[in-house]
Structure 1
Amino acid sequence: MNASSLGAALGAEWLKLRTLRSTWWTLAAACVLTVGIGVLYGSIIKGDYETFGADEDFDPVGMGFAGSSIGQLAMVCFGVLAVSGEYATGTIRASLAAVPHRGVFWAAKAVAVAAAAFAVALPTAFATFAGAQTAMGARQNAGIGDPGALRATIGLAVYLTLLCLLSAGVAAMLRGTALSLGILVPLFFIVSDVLGNLPGVESVAQYLPNLAGMQITRAVADDRISVGAWGGLAVLVAWTGAALAGGLLVLRRRDA
């Protein structure tokens, strides 16, 4: 892979993302939803010490990041639209004509999507932590220096970025916005929760990308999920890598 051709392709992908309206509203929605719902959760918890703070297993960090389960919807949309939009408009043909090496094209798109997602996800994670912990009140909140808090905060940014890349990979395989979102949204927001609570199935469901990946956003381990924080992150990385590899395979084998 030639570095200069990759750099040129990356510049083109940056230009596409900046000029797409969907980039701005999906990333803004991810930020607003994650921070806003985190503050809302913190406000609900505030003052209810007997239910939350007195429990030694209470995780104020993980609870503050509960809003990311809604905010990640916007990240999923961003990842899908960053890829499927070119197929919907037919501009994928011009893109591949300009960058005929499909491996270079896909690498540049993946890097651009990941960089844009992480650039928003990282400050969003810290803003969510600050807002949620402030809303909870000093009696039961956590500080960024508490055990696991910094790791979970950065972990939230990594989690959202990987989920976005996974969605981009799925969109490249399916080549359609409606179909991609029609699979990913129910999977992440309905199916995984249902399967995760079904006796006899939860031991397998914990390896779904969102259930496993979310463990990195907790300061206190969830004893219902056996993979742990770093194991869960590894599971999500594996799912993301498989989706990106699948996207590249379809891109190479099928005409635009």
Structure 2
Amino acid sequence: MTKGTAAVPAVPPLEPKARFGDLVAAEWIKLWSLRSTPWAFAATVVLTLTITVFGAIADAQHYTGYDADHKAYFRSFGTLADAFSRGASTMVIVGAGAIGAITVLGECTTGMIRTTFAAVPARTSVMAAKLAVVTAATTLLGVACAFGSYAAAQAVLAGQDVAVGLGHPGMMRLLLASVLLAPVSALVGMGLAAVIRHSVLTIVATIALLFVVPSMLDDRSHFGVSLVHMTIPQAWDRLGHAPASSPQWPWTVWGAFLVLAVWVLVAAALTVFTTNHRDQ
């Protein structure tokens, strides 16, 4: 440096921006660092399998008293219903919805979300990573519940020689719909949590939207049936069990898939983009 020349302060090198893969890894760690997460996953699986086993045991006990026609009907449709029942689907909806809500509320209610956004100002990327992690984790939850229920039911029904394989008509579609039920419900819980930001209100709203409201809808009119068809439980039921909620106004399998897709897109948009308009 020549005499009389002012010293130029050294400029610290800019830290590289967090890659999306890094954000996903961080969100995965945060998900499983919550004490409630393993318990919520385990409780959902255990309760789902319990409902399935007790239902299959009851049907297996009644099977010996059926006449020939009823036995034939059970072999075609009863085994399908026992593989993953409506009671099991309710448990997955409630459990996965609560898990999705908790993943957002865990940071928002403690204020840790401010620290996260201070470290990574790209809020949309953070929430997208959180969304990807929850989707992956609850999809695995759906696989465990659906195929675990199928295996448990067949083990029970094998005692009456009425167990069926995965090639049974409608079985794979039922299991696919049951697997999808978990991530769809979890994303709805995330979306509501991102909007409401209150633990009790979010859990109540999630259970009400996913379970209570659909059970209260009237399917005796075309308008009522249309509303029923827009619910997640009915979309799952259409894919797995029933041809329609009302034979007067049937709907298609692809229509049920479309309903699930719309729920996913709306919930994902609420989760990712509402944080841009909040103070935290």
Equivalent of 2:251, from 221, 224, 227?
227
Superposed displacement of residue 198, structure 1: 4.4
Single out whichever of 179-188 and 102-111 deviates more from structure 2. 179-188
Q: Give 1:111's aligned residue.
A: 132
Contact 2:24/2:133 (8 A) holds in 1: yes
Q: What's the Cα RMSD here?
A: 2.3
CA distance in 1, matches of 2:49, 2:17: 38
Superposed displacement of residue 139, structure 1: 4.5
Contact 1:39/1:135 (8 A) holds in 2: yes
CA distance in 2, matches of 1:234, 1:164: 17
Look up the SS of the partner of 1:224 in the other structure.
coil
> What amino acid is aligned across from residue 110 of structure 1 in structure 2?
L
Contact 2:219/2:245 (8 A) holds in 1: no
CA distance in 1, matches of 2:253, 2:56: 22
Equivalent of 2:34, from 13, 16, 20?
20
| Structure 1 residues not aligned, in runs of 5+ | none
Equivalent of 1:77, from 98, 107, 111?
98
> What amino acid is aligned across from residue 206 of structure 2 in structure 1?
L
Contact 2:235/2:257 (8 A) holds in 1: yes
CA distance in 2, matches of 1:69, 1:158: 13
CA distance in 1, matches of 2:155, 2:254: 27
> What amino acid is aligned across from residue 140 of structure 2 in structure 1?
A
How many residues are treated as equivalent by the alignment? 252
| Structure 2 residues not aligned, in runs of 5+ | 1-15
Equivalent of 1:101, from 122, 136, 156?
122
Q: Give 2:8's aligned residue.
A: none
| Pairing 1:181–2:203 present | yes
TM-score of the aligned structures, taking structure 2 as reference length: 0.82
Q: How does 1:72-221 map to 2 (within 5 A)?
A: 72-137=93-158, 138-195=160-217, 197-200=218-221, 201-216=224-239, 218=240, 220-221=241-242
Contact 2:235/2:260 (8 A) holds in 1: yes
Q: Give 1:252's aligned residue.
A: 276
Look up the SS of the partner of 2:62 in the other structure.
coil
> What amino acid is aligned across from residue 191 of structure 1 in structure 2?
V
Structure ID, larger Rg: 2
Q: Give 1:62's aligned residue.
A: 81
> What amino acid is aligned across from residue 205 of structure 1 in structure 2?
V
Q: Among the aligned pairs, what percent are the same residue?
A: 29
CA distance in 2, matches of 1:229, 1:59: 20
Contact 1:39/1:64 (8 A) holds in 2: no
Contact 2:47/2:91 (8 A) holds in 1: yes
Single out whichever of 138-147 and 204-213 deviates more from structure 2. 138-147
